[in-house]
Structure 1
Amino acid sequence: MDYEQMIASMTPELYRSLRRALELGKWPDGSRMSAEQREHAMQAVIAWGAQHLPESERVGYIDRGHKAGEVCDDPEVTPLNWQQDAP
């Protein structure tokens, strides 16, 4: 079985289990993940997510938000109180 077939055959349960193991740094039985295991599990989680999840639910997704406009709604300058009280 090659890498693509392995990713295609992963179930959502296996994906969640690998993702949880990565979050905790250990397998469900409590044993610590090695660096190599973390690397392979992370690659599998990212690859499976890219094939099966919407972008907003994938590992590493950052919501860039929405920029409404170039200027503020209230362009008027409002001085701070301590500036008003200064001599």
Structure 2
Amino acid sequence: MDFTAMVSAMAPDTYNKLAEAVATGRWADGTPLSAEQKEQTLQLVLAYQSKVLKSQDIFTVGPDGQIVHKSKAELKKQFSDPAAIARFSHDDL
């Protein structure tokens, strides 16, 4: 089985476990990842994000294999909440 086929066949639960291991540096049982395991696990996580999730989240790998970057204006637009509970101007306080 080649790398791309393995990534495409990976279950979402497996991806989540690998992503958590990369983020924490430890397997679910608490055992630390070796340097080789970190490298290979990170490659799998990035490939899964690119090939399966086709993620457009910032600082993930997009479908084209490039890191997704967004401008400050794009981020403000993405995270603006028009249904905010309350907004106050400086003079209201």
Do they superpose with TM above 0.5?
A: yes
Which entry has the higher C-alpha Rg, 1 or 2?
A: 1
2:65 counterpart of 1:64: no
1:12-41 Cα shifts (integer Å, max 9, x gaps): 111111010011101111111000000000
Identical counterparts, % of pairs: 33
Tell me which amino acid in the other structure corresponds to 2:31.
Answer: S
Q: Which residue of 2 aligns with 1:55?
A: 56
Q: Quick one: higher RCO (CA 8 Å, sep 6+), 1 or 2?
A: 1
Equivalent runs, 1:31-50 vs 2, <5 Å = 31-50=31-50
Give 5+ residue unaligned stretches, structure 2. 62-66, 75-93
Q: Which residue of 1 aligns with 2:85?
A: none
Equivalent runs, 1:70-85 vs 2, <5 Å = none
Inter-partner Cα distance in structure 2 for 1:29 and 1:15: 16
- Give the number of aligned pairs: 67
Q: Normalising by structure 1, what TM-score? A: 0.66
Q: Which residue of 2 aligns with 1:11?
A: 11
Give 5+ residue unaligned stretches, structure 1. 68-87
